[in-house]
A = this chain, B = another copy of it.
Amino acid sequence: MTLLEIGKLAQQASYELAIADSKQKNAALETIALALEANEASIVAANKKDIEAGKQAGLTEALLDRLLLDESRLAGIISDLRSVINLSDPVGEEFDSKLLENGLKLSKRRVPVGVIGVIYEARPNVTIDIAALCLKTGNASILRGGKETINSNLVLVDVIQGALVAAGLPKTAVQYIENTDRALVGELLKMDQYVDMIIPRGNSGLQQFCKENSTIPVIIGGIGICHLFAEKSVDVEKALAIIENAKVQRPSVCNALDTLLVEQQIAAEFLPKLAAKLLPLGVTLVAEPKAKAILGDDASVAQEGDFSREWLSLHLGVKVVDGLGEALTHIREHSSQHSDGILTNDFTLANQFVNAVNSAAVYINASTRFTDGSQFGLGAEVAVSTQKLHARGPMGLQELTTYKWIGVGEYLTRT
Nearest B residue (CB) for A197: B389
Residue interface bits A388-415, CB-to-B below 8 A is 1, else 0: 1110110000000011111111111110
Q: In the docked arrangement, what's the CA distance between A413 and B341, Å?
A: 13
The reply to whether A358 and B411 form a contact with Cβ atoms under 8 Å apart is no
The reply to whether A242 and B412 form a contact with Cβ atoms under 8 Å apart is yes
Contact A359 B407, CB 8 Å, known A412-B365, A412-B367: no
The interface residues of chain B lying within 8 Å CB-to-CB of A244 are: 413
Q: In the docked arrangement, what's the CA distance between A239 and B411, Å?
A: 7
Contact A377 B98, CB 8 Å, known A197-B388, A404-B362: yes
Q: Report whether over half of chain A's contact residues are helix, strand or loop; otherwise say mixed.
A: mixed
The reply to whether B104 and A370 form a contact with Cβ atoms under 8 Å apart is yes
Q: How large is the interface on A (under 10, 10 to 19, 20 to 34, 35 or more residues)?
A: 35 or more
The interface residues of chain B lying within 8 Å CB-to-CB of A114 are: 358, 388
Residue of A98, A111, A406 ringed by the most chain B CB atoms within 10 A: A406
The reply to whether B405 and A365 form a contact with Cβ atoms under 8 Å apart is no
The interface residues of chain B lying within 8 Å CB-to-CB of A392 are: 402-405
The interface residues of chain B lying within 8 Å CB-to-CB of A215 are: 211-212
The reply to whether B104 and A332 form a contact with Cβ atoms under 8 Å apart is no
The reply to whether B411 and A113 form a contact with Cβ atoms under 8 Å apart is no
The reply to whether the CB of A80 lies closer than 8 angstroms to some CB of chain B is: no
Residue interface bits A357-400, CB-to-B below 8 A is 1, else 0: 01111111111011100011100000000011110110000000
The interface residues of chain B lying within 8 Å CB-to-CB of A414 are: 245, 249, 367, 369-370, 375
Q: In the docked arrangement, what's the CA distance between A365 and B413, Å?
A: 9
Residue interface bits A233-244, CB-to-B below 8 A is 1, else 0: 001001101101
A382 to chain B, nearest CB (A): 13
The reply to whether the CB of A102 lies closer than 8 angstroms to some CB of chain B is: yes
Residue interface bits A37-48, CB-to-B below 8 A is 1, else 0: 000000000000
The interface residues of chain B lying within 8 Å CB-to-CB of A235 are: 411
The reply to whether A404 and B358 form a contact with Cβ atoms under 8 Å apart is yes
- B249, B355, B364: the one contacting A19 at CB < 8 Å is B355
The reply to whether the CB of A129 lies closer than 8 angstroms to some CB of chain B is: no
Residue of A244, A246, A361, A363 ringed by the most chain B CB atoms within 10 A: A363
The reply to whether B19 and A376 form a contact with Cβ atoms under 8 Å apart is no
A253 to chain B, nearest CB (A): 11
A316 to chain B, nearest CB (A): 16
A130 to chain B, nearest CB (A): 17
The interface residues of chain B lying within 8 Å CB-to-CB of A388 are: 113-114, 196-197, 217, 402
The reply to whether B360 and A405 form a contact with Cβ atoms under 8 Å apart is yes
Interface set of A (CB-CB < 8 Å, partner B): 15, 18-19, 98, 100-102, 104, 106, 111, 113-114, 192, 196-197, 211-212, 215, 217, 235, 238-239, 241-242, 244-246, 249, 332, 341, 343, 354-356, 358-367, 369-371, 375-377, 387-390, 392-393, 402-414
Known: A101-B377, A212-B215. 7 other contacts (CB 8 A): A18-B356, A242-B412, A361-B406, A366-B409, A366-B412, A370-B407, A392-B403
Question: 21 A-B residue contacts at CB 8 Å?
Answer: A15-B332, A15-B356, A100-B376, A104-B370, A192-B211, A212-B215, A217-B387, A217-B388, A249-B413, A341-B407, A343-B411, A359-B404, A361-B407, A364-B406, A364-B409, A365-B409, A366-B409, A366-B412, A369-B413, A376-B405, A389-B402
